[in-house]
Structure formats: C-alpha cells, structure tokens
Amino acid sequence: MYEDLVEHHVIQDNGYLGELGDWSEDLARRLAKEDGIELNDEHLEILHYLRKYYDKNGQVYNARRMLNVMEYEFGKWEGKKRLYQLFPRGPVAQGCKYAGLPLPPACNDRPFGSVH
C-alpha cells in the first residue's frame, strides 16, 4: 500500500509528500493507517488547519512555533496533552506528514514534540 505511493513519487523517501497538491483526506488516512492511527474528526480539523496555516505563512515557521500555535488553537482539547494523544510520534512531525506539508525548516528531529 505505502510502497505504491513511494513508487509513484507521491511520497518521498523521508515519508512526506513530494507535492502539496497531491494531498487528500484519503491519502492522509492511508499514511496514518501505516502508523497505526485511525484519523477522526479531531485529526482532520487539525490537518485542515495546518494546511491553511501553511498556505498563509509558508515555511516561515519553526517546529516550536508550530507546536505553540497548535496548542493555542486546539487548547479546547486539553492543549499539548491532547495533541500528543492524537499524534503520539509528535504533533508537528505527524501533523505535517498527514497534512501533506514539509517539516518546518531546521527541524532535524522528526518526532518533535513526542513524549517518547
């Protein structure tokens, strides 16, 4: 399943989308499923928010700023704690991956924000 996405260059070797325009909710669900996560409405709301944020700001943000923005925007769900529950390998890393966005610049730690 995942291999066919890599083979068709939709997914790069690092696991992230090669082109922003290739994103869809179905693709996000496939990527999440590979990580053992079943996306729900909360996940999708965050992913759509991240895409809008990226459209507005481009890659001028950093991982820490993105995590703070996510916590502020979705604080109604218990802040960072809830974000970690939704994205256990890191809200920024997994959020960007499933939203079809590149990792923030200078973000060398892909599981940024992870509790592990």
- Environment class of 76 (CB within 10 Å of its CB; exposed 0-12, middle 13-18, buried 19+): exposed
Q: Is 28 helix (H, G, I), strand (E, B) or coil?
A: helix
Distance separating the N- and C-terminal Cα atoms of the chain: 27
Instruction: Give yes or no: 96 in active site.
Output: no
**Active-site hit among 32, 50, 93, 107:** 107
User: Which positions are catalytic?
Assistant: 107
